[in-house]
Amino acid sequence: MALADFTAAELQDITAGLLDFHIRGKAKVQNDEKRPFYKAMRANQKKFPGGKGLITGPVATDDDNGFTGYSGDDEVDYDNPTGLKRWAYPWYELHDGISITYTELKHAGVTVTEEGAGRSTSGKVGSAAVILTNLLDEKMARFTARRERSLNLLFYRDGTQSAKVFPGLRAMVRDNPTVGIIGGIDSATNTWWRNRARTVASGGAIATSTTNLTGIRTLQREVRQLRRFGGMPNIALAGSLALEKLEDEVQAKGAYTDTGWAKDIELSMGDLMIRGVGKVQYDPTLDGEGLDSRMYILDSRHIYPMCMEGEDMKRFAPARPENRYTMYEAVTWTGTVVADCLNCHGVYDFT
C-alpha cells in the first residue's frame, strides 16, 4: 500500500505514533582514500634525539683510478681520497587540533567533568536510548583520519605551500633532476645526486604503445639503472591513467586461459608486478594531485621520515579558557623527510 492511499488523518496518526528505523554506529566516511605511500613512509620512519635545527649525514664519491701497471723501479702514485659531502635537512613542527563545545556533548549524552586542569567524560544515564552515533568517538576518529590524510599530502608535496612544512617526495625525486639543491647538495654540478626521470618536465615522457610495448620495455630498462649503484627499489606507486596505459600494453601481449570459451572468462586482470620491485600499487593521492599519468619507483631505504624522539603524534589536551565551555584536543609531529641517496629513485610520466 502506497502512502498516497492513506487519508490525511491516517498519515498524521502514522507520523505521530511511529519512529523511523535508524541504524546505529559509526558513520561511513565517503571520501577517505587509501594511502599506500603514507603507509610505507610511516613503516620506515626513523628517530633522532634533537639538535640545533638540521639532520645531516655523509655521502661520498670516489673517482680515483685505482690500480695502474708498473715494472721494476717505475714511479707510482699515491692518491689521497676526497669527495666527502654532507646532506642536511631542517626539521619542522606540525600541529593539528580540534575543538568540541560542551553543548554539542550534552546533545550527544556526554558529561564533561573538570578537576582542576584535568577533565574526564562519561555517558549520561539513559543516553543510549537516544544516541545513534557516539559523537565524541566519531569526531576523534575523523580527527585521526584527517591528520593521516594531511601528513600523506606533506609526504608527497614539495614544501612550497608553506615555509613551515618540510619538503616531501616531489622536492627530492624531481621531475627535472638536473637542477636544484637537495639537502644542501647541488644536483646541477653533482650528477650522482640525481634521481631517474622520464617526465614531461624532463622532456622524456614515456609514450606507451600496444604495438611496441614501450612502457613495459622502458620500465625494465629503468629498473636496471635504479639498481646500478646499489639501489634496491621496492615501492611502485602509480596514478589511475598510468596503470590503465600499462594494462593496455600487458593485455596486448595476449590473455591466456585453459578453460576455453565453454566456461566463465575473468573480466579483470591481475595486479601489475615489476620483477624485483613488487606490485604496482594504485595511489589515489596521485590522481588528486593531478598526477594520474605518473609512476614513482622508490627505494624505501633511502627516502624516509625522521621524527624527533617522543614527538611522534604527541597528544595535548589544552585547558579551556575561563570564558569558553569548549574541549580542545591537539596532536603534534616534529621531524622531516630525508633522502640520503637519489639515484635509486625514479619518476615516470606516461602519455
* Average confidence (pLDDT) over 71-82: 90
**pLDDT per residue as tens digits for the range 40-69:** 999 999 999 998 999 999 999 887 788 989
**Which residues are CB-contacts of 169 (< 8 A; sequence separation ≥ 6)?**
37, 155, 156, 157, 296, 298, 303, 337
CA atoms within 13 A on the CB side of 349: 16
Which has the minimum average pLDDT: 8-17, 111-120, 236-245, 314-323?
A: 8-17
Q: What percent of the chain has pLDDT over 90?
A: 62
Q: What is the pTM of this model?
A: 0.85
Of 134, 141, 147, 143, the residue nearest 99 (C-alpha)? 143
Confidence of residue 106 (pLDDT cuts 50, 70, 90): confident
pLDDT, tens only, 257-282: 555 545 555 666 778 999 999 999 99
Are 164 and 148 in contact by the 8 Å Cβ rule? The answer is no
Alpha carbon of 133 to those of 98, 127, 147: distances in Å?
A: 19, 11, 22
| Residue-level pLDDT at 235 | 97
The pLDDT assigned to 287 comes to 97
The pLDDT confidence band at residue 119, using thresholds 50, 70 and 90, is confident
Residue 322 binned pLDDT confidence (cut-offs 50, 70, 90): confident
pLDDT of 187 higher than 90: yes
Mean pLDDT over 169-181 rounds to 96
Q: Which three cell numbers stand for residue 140?
A: 576523534
- Of 246, 227, 225, 192, the C-alpha closest to 299 is 227
Q: How confident is the model at residue 127 (pLDDT cuts 50, 70, 90)?
A: low
> Residue 196 pLDDT more than 90?
yes
Q: Tell me what pLDDT residue 132 has.
A: 45
